[in-house]
Chains A and B, each alone.
Chain A
Amino acid sequence: MDNSTKAFTNRRNLLQGGAALSGAAVIAAGLSPRAAMAQEAGQSRLQQVIDRGKLIVGTGATNPPWHYEDADGQLIGMDIDMAKFLARGLFQLTDEQLANREEWSQRLEFVVEASDARIPNLVADKIDIVCQFMTVNPLRAQQVEFTIPYYREAATLLLPADSPYTGTADITGHGASISALENPDTVVMVQTGVPDAEVTSFDSPANAVLALDSGRAEAAVSDLSTAQYLTKQSPEKYKVGIDSWWPQTYAFAVKPDDQRWLNWVNTALHELLVGVDYAYYQDAFLQHFGVELPPPAAGFPVEYK
């Protein structure tokens, strides 16, 4: 750990001391009957959420490492940790509270939804925010407002651990059989990375990986995060290709026309990605993707580079 990271951690602990105090104040406020009253029109969702004392997050339950159920049927994953981070910022939860499901679940409620329910639930005020690996695109941005990104997804090769190939450069030219999930443009997507690939597309990501396991495919094309997750789970079975392509941005989404709420989430996210809460993101990233991120360089803000 270098000095800049140490300073980081110290400042974080310092802040949490103050946070505990103000957290107590908010909890006390949350107990008052006012919190349960109907929301005033025109009030920012930020205030509504604080008054309600609980953040309601739309997410999924079937997509590791983003949002899925552990052995006890409890939601875990990167999106779940991101939602917990928002709840921490809103209600000044301590690390102890965040580590205890009983505690934080009083401040954070998940609405499990299918991917195609993300926008409708948001628009119908059933949820405050979507944390469900939502890909940003201009069409969706007309219906919801996206926050700043929290992950850049891409396609990569998932290879057997003993594969002679390392990435798109050396697998190209062999007419390799490659399995992938059926999507619009699956073949175009795969062949953007491996032009001479023979593509077999399956109806679920699991079957695409099974084709790799059974030796039917020499490589599977999957999301980078999925490939990293699988490789972290079974390093003796898989390795991740050294390169990736076909980028897409993941961001949270909020209901349009609430600048205050959007700004708050963006500010919190920004500090998560490059600021005071970076260690939280780094921990989550390591836990879910098995990759240790370097801390952002100090001095000139990295986001403008």
Chain B
Amino acid sequence: MFGLNWDSLWRHREEFLSGLALGLKLALIGLALACVIGLLVAFARTSRHQWLRIPAASYVEFIRNIPLLLILFFLYFGVPMWAFSVLPRGLADILVLDGENTTIVALAIYGGAYLAEVFRAGILGVGRAFIEAGRSLGLSGLQIARYVTLPIMVRTVLPSLGNTFISLFKDTSLAMAIAVPELTFVTRKFVTDTFQFIQAWTVAGVLYLVTTYALAALLRFLERRIRWTV
């Protein structure tokens, strides 16, 4: 097709697919952790207590305003430099993560900052009436958060959550820079070896496109399901 040679790509199909699967895995675990971070930070940012609000706001502003690649480099190259020189060897070995786990942590920290804002908007969007209803039932602040705010918020933030997931999945391509064999790394390696850059990047692009499109469709389906129950 197009006078291009697709045979060698086909021979490397397993590397491309395993790169894609690895990217999805990293994004999924990263998102799960980012959700936890995001929720905690969002509640901290909407808290009455200043000692919770200020660190939470600082975290969001700091992380949102630096590139993800920088976080990756810092975690992958910077942390070991510091850990191996300062900490006892055993502790340093625990703190120094391999490329894949570094990527997961970086995605969690990065995605967490974005999701914190998403969740915060969701929390602020929960009507006062619901909160007051909870209070009049005698629920504590924590109970209101758990049984009133959270369930209502989840429905409103689902579309944004989906967007963040798709973003994080595409961001896994940056892990190439720290030698994680996800799809972009595999593609670049293939291009370096064969110089068939048009074929390779086309295939990588199509794989990203099909995957993110399928993810978006799945998320829309979930949104519709949940809307029925409200």
Do the beta carbons of B77 and A203 come within 8 Å of each other?
no
Residues of B within 8 A of A184 (CB): 192-193
Task: Give the docked Cα–Cα distance between A216 and B192 (Å).
Answer: 24
Q: Does A214 contact B (CB under 8 A)?
A: yes
Do the beta carbons of B81 and A214 come within 8 Å of each other?
yes
Q: Which residue of B lies closest to A204 (CB)?
A: B177
Residues of B within 8 A of A215 (CB): 80-81, 84, 96
Residues of A within 8 A of B96 (CB): 215-216
Residues of A within 8 A of B81 (CB): 213-215
Q: Does B210 contact A (CB under 8 A)?
A: no
Q: Which residue of A lies closest to B177 (CB)?
A: A203
**Chain A 187-220 per-residue mask, 1 if CB under 8 angstroms from chain B, else 0:** 0000000000000111100010011011110000
Q: Which of A202, A207, A214 contacts B78 (CB 8 A)?
A: A214
Question: Chain B at the A interface: mostly helix, strand, loop or mixed?
Answer: helix
Residues of A within 8 A of B177 (CB): 202-203, 207
Q: Which of B78, B79, B176 contacts A203 (CB 8 A)?
A: B176
Given contacts A184-B193, A215-B84, contact A200 B179 (CB under 8 A): yes
Task: Give the docked Cα–Cα distance between A179 and B179 (Å).
Answer: 10
Q: Does A183 contact B (CB under 8 A)?
A: yes
Task: Give the docked Cα–Cα distance between A181 and B177 (Å).
Answer: 11
**Chain B 167-196 per-residue mask, 1 if CB under 8 angstroms from chain A, else 0:** 000000000111100000000110011000
Q: Does A182 contact B (CB under 8 A)?
A: yes
Task: Give the docked Cα–Cα distance between A178 and B160 (Å).
Answer: 42
Residues of A within 8 A of B192 (CB): 182-184
Q: Does B119 contact A (CB under 8 A)?
A: no
Q: Does B76 contact A (CB under 8 A)?
A: yes
Residues of B within 8 A of A213 (CB): 77, 81
Interface size in chain B (residues, C-beta < 8 A): 17
Do the beta carbons of B76 and A214 come within 8 Å of each other?
yes
Q: Which residue of A lies closest to B84 (CB)?
A: A215
Residues of A within 8 A of B79 (CB): 214
**Chain A 155-169 per-residue mask, 1 if CB under 8 angstroms from chain B, else 0:** 000000000000000
Task: Give the docked Cα–Cα distance between A207 and B99 (Å).
Answer: 13
Residues of B within 8 A of A211 (CB): 77, 179
Distance in angstroms from B196 CB to nearest chain A CB is: 12
Distance in angstroms from A189 CB to nearest chain B CB is: 12
Task: Give the docked Cα–Cα distance between A90 and B77 (Å).
Answer: 48
Task: Give the docked Cα–Cα distance between A227 and B78 (Å).
Answer: 22
Residues of A within 8 A of B176 (CB): 203
Q: Which of A182, A185, A214 contacts B77 (CB 8 A)?
A: A214
Do the beta carbons of A210 and B179 come within 8 Å of each other?
no
Task: Give the docked Cα–Cα distance between A211 and B188 (Å).
Answer: 19
Task: Give the docked Cα–Cα distance between A297 and B78 (Å).
Answer: 49
Q: Which residue of A lies closest to B82 (CB)?
A: A214
Given contacts A182-B188, A203-B188, contact A214 B80 (CB under 8 A): yes
Residues of A within 8 A of B189 (CB): 182, 201
Q: List 7 A-B contacts (CB under 8 A).
A: A182-B188, A182-B192, A184-B193, A201-B189, A214-B78, A214-B79, A216-B80
In the A-B complex, list the 3 residue pairs whose CB atoms are closest, starting with the nearest: A214-B80, A215-B84, A214-B77
B contacts, CB < 8 Å to A: 76-81, 84, 96, 99, 176-179, 188-189, 192-193
Given contacts A203-B176, A215-B81, 7 further A-B contacts (CB under 8 A): A182-B188, A182-B189, A185-B193, A207-B179, A214-B76, A214-B77, A215-B84
